[in-house]
A and B are shown apart, each in its own frame.
Chain A
Amino acid sequence: MTQDKEAARARTAMLKKLREEHKDTIEHTRVLLKKQQEIRRIISQAMKDGAGTVPEIAGASGLPAHEVLWHVTAMKKYDLVTETGRDGDYYRYALVEEASQ
């Protein structure tokens, strides 16, 4: 039991030290994450009404098309967005939850 407690204490101290050593990069990533969450919120909102192409999502969200493509690509890789077919020269993307309804 005491051994467990000691191990837990040592682990907490180790993580604290690591956090201290990396405080600048953690802060930088935290800012990046916040920005990313906001962009994802805007993209998801723009996709709420159904599938769209990258230019359509960009038009609805006001974000640059290349940024939309990068985020949609990331969301597709991690199963948050799915491809639902084509529209001319473009593919259509939908939020996974919308596509499954």
Chain B
Amino acid sequence: MNSRPDPNESENPMNTPDLKVDALVVGGGIAGMQSALDLADQGYRVALVEKEASIGGKMIMLSKVFPTLDCCSCITTPKMSAVAHHDNITLLTTCDVQALHTNGNGGYTAKVQQNPRYIDADACTGCRQCEYVCPIDLPASYDLDMGATRAIRVPFSTAVPQKAIIDIEHCLLCGKCEKACPTDAVDFSQQPFTFNIETNAVVLATGFQTTPTDAKREYGGGKLLNVIDALSMERLLAPTGPYGHILRPSDGKEPESIAYVQCAGSRDQSLGVPYCSRVCCMYAIKQAMLLSGALPMADITIYYMDIRTFGKGYEQFYQNAKAMGIEFVHGKVARIDEDSEHNPVIRVETIENGRIAERTHDLVVLSVGMLPGENLGPIFDVQPADDGFAAIPDPTLSPSATGHPGVFVTGTASGPMDIVDSIIMAGAAAAQAAAYLETMRSSVAAGPTAIPEVAHV
């Protein structure tokens, strides 16, 4: 195992490396984890930097995955553990890359800040006794605020690492957690600290965000209690979800009629999002199938403009959903209001006969799109393309190369894609990074000037 930087050391100047690796992977979602594992399995030393307290990205929040309907936690957790336990991977959570500079030898020096957990991670066993005595309940972002968490918490049940973290912005500093901790792991003296990572290759896997639920005002998201987004539905469907059942947020009723509104954030010029997010049709069909399994008496309707099922086995998946009795209504939803019982009322113009219809449901799910995550311009000098995702100079022949030697981008940081494509692209980025590392190695062997000098990133 590579030695970790010492959190008690003071800030280091840019020129002293605290960690030397072959490749730095930024982002610990499925794409970043897969690139890290592919490189580490080939014997390269990798540092994986994740800004959150756990790796897993969006995938660990999902219930099951299309098209196989595998349990998401069951397939993601082993990958998360593999990353954490790999001898060639140094996992650094709660970390931000603040600067990346060329080091003059064809490689890069990254300045990284680790934000404090206020927990001695070596001592913490993840027992959650601290969480149980913490007096304040807060909305849990992992459950899209439908459930609760506390100011000191283990981020979620399958978090890797299974270590507590204190949300200092909501901590009363009452000291109850310190008293309850059996291993004296609470440490309020921790400070943010910076350190340097010297690396020869960089893989950017910073992922995506979903369209804000309230982006389309006429759909009432964020205002109408029973209009939720698809990520919230993933949490409701997950066995570890906030309620333990599929209930609607206004009053805890098990919904009998659930509707999906497609393209609620994609292919929409009014939102400045002209592109298709590529996953919404499939995740809506998946969720509809899971709902009809969990709530056999419920009516499930999908309002759509086009259904795009382009992947292997995806069209069959769609046909199966139709055969299961899920209703597909070809029409454009104009607006959503609610009645006096908080039941959402959908106003839809159907394509077949051009009529306007109003239909009432218990719960409406907005199939929100994929938006670019982190802007990689300021720190990594990888500029956004027209769609806001990382620009790829040669997407046909070199889909993960950024134009900076040794810097690659993968997964949804480069554009909307599903898990299968994220994994394929993560493998491609790792292969390109490995090829670059080998070129560097042979160039170093051949002489010091063989590596081209690159722009300051």
Contact between A77 and B250, CB atoms less than 8 A apart: no
For the complex, give the distance between the alpha carbons of A66 and B240 in Å: 20
Contact between A32 and B169, CB atoms less than 8 A apart: no
CB 8 Å contact bits of A47-89 with B (1 = contact, 0 = none): 0000001110010000001101111111011110001000001
Is A26 in contact with chain B by the CB < 8 A criterion?
A: yes
Is A22 in contact with chain B by the CB < 8 A criterion?
A: yes
Q: Tell me which of B137, B173, B244 contacts A22 (CB under 8 A).
A: B173
Contact between B253 and A89, CB atoms less than 8 A apart: yes
Contact between A18 and B173, CB atoms less than 8 A apart: yes
Q: Tell me which of B136, B251, B252, B253 contacts A29 (CB under 8 A).
A: B136
For the complex, give the distance between the alpha carbons of A63 and B167 in Å: 28
Is B340 in contact with chain A by the CB < 8 A criterion?
A: no
* Smallest beta-carbon distance B8→chain A, Å: 14
Nearest B residue (CB) for A55 = B251
Q: What residues of A have a CB within 8 angstroms of the CB of B170 in the complex?
A: 25, 29, 32
Q: What residues of A have a CB within 8 angstroms of the CB of B136 in the complex?
A: 29, 32-33, 36
Is A15 in contact with chain B by the CB < 8 A criterion?
A: yes
Within 8 A of A (CB), among B114-130: none
Contact between A14 and B189, CB atoms less than 8 A apart: yes
CB 8 Å contact bits of B241-258 with A (1 = contact, 0 = none): 011110101111110100
For the complex, give the distance between the alpha carbons of A73 and B138 in Å: 12
Question: Can you report 30 residue pairs joining A to B where beta carbons are below 8 Å apart?
Answer: A11-B189, A18-B188, A19-B173, A22-B168, A22-B171, A25-B169, A26-B171, A29-B171, A32-B136, A33-B135, A33-B172, A53-B252, A54-B251, A65-B250, A65-B252, A66-B250, A69-B252, A70-B148, A73-B147, A73-B242, A74-B148, A77-B147, A77-B242, A78-B132, A78-B137, A89-B254, A90-B252, A90-B254, A91-B245, A91-B252
For the complex, give the distance between the alpha carbons of A90 and B248 in Å: 10
Is A30 in contact with chain B by the CB < 8 A criterion?
A: yes
For the complex, give the distance between the alpha carbons of A35 and B245 in Å: 28
Q: Which size class do B's interface residues fall under? A: 20 to 34
For the complex, give the distance between the alpha carbons of A25 and B244 in Å: 32
Contact between A54 and B173, CB atoms less than 8 A apart: no
Q: What residues of A have a CB within 8 angstroms of the CB of B139 in the complex?
A: 70
CB 8 Å contact bits of B379-394 with A (1 = contact, 0 = none): 0000000000000000
Nearest B residue (CB) for A24 = B169
Contact between A83 and B189, CB atoms less than 8 A apart: no
* Smallest beta-carbon distance B425→chain A, Å: 37
Q: What residues of B have a CB within 8 angstroms of the CB of A58 in the complex?
A: 251
Is B225 in contact with chain A by the CB < 8 A criterion?
A: yes
* Smallest beta-carbon distance B185→chain A, Å: 15
Contact between A69 and B135, CB atoms less than 8 A apart: no
Nearest A residue (CB) for B250 = A66
Is B151 in contact with chain A by the CB < 8 A criterion?
A: yes
Within 8 A of B (CB), among A85-101: 89-91
Q: Tell me which of B132, B251, B256 contacts A69 (CB under 8 A).
A: B251
Question: Which 3 pairs between the two chains have the least Cβ-Cβ distance?
Answer: A74-B148, A54-B252, A65-B251
Q: What residues of B have a CB within 8 angstroms of the CB of A71 in the complex?
A: 137
Contact between B188 and A15, CB atoms less than 8 A apart: yes
* Smallest beta-carbon distance A43→chain B, Å: 12
For the complex, give the distance between the alpha carbons of A36 and B172 in Å: 14
Q: What residues of B have a CB within 8 angstroms of the CB of A29 in the complex?
A: 136, 151, 170-172
* Smallest beta-carbon distance A31→chain B, Å: 11
Is B457 in contact with chain A by the CB < 8 A criterion?
A: no
For the complex, give the distance between the alpha carbons of A79 and B254 in Å: 22
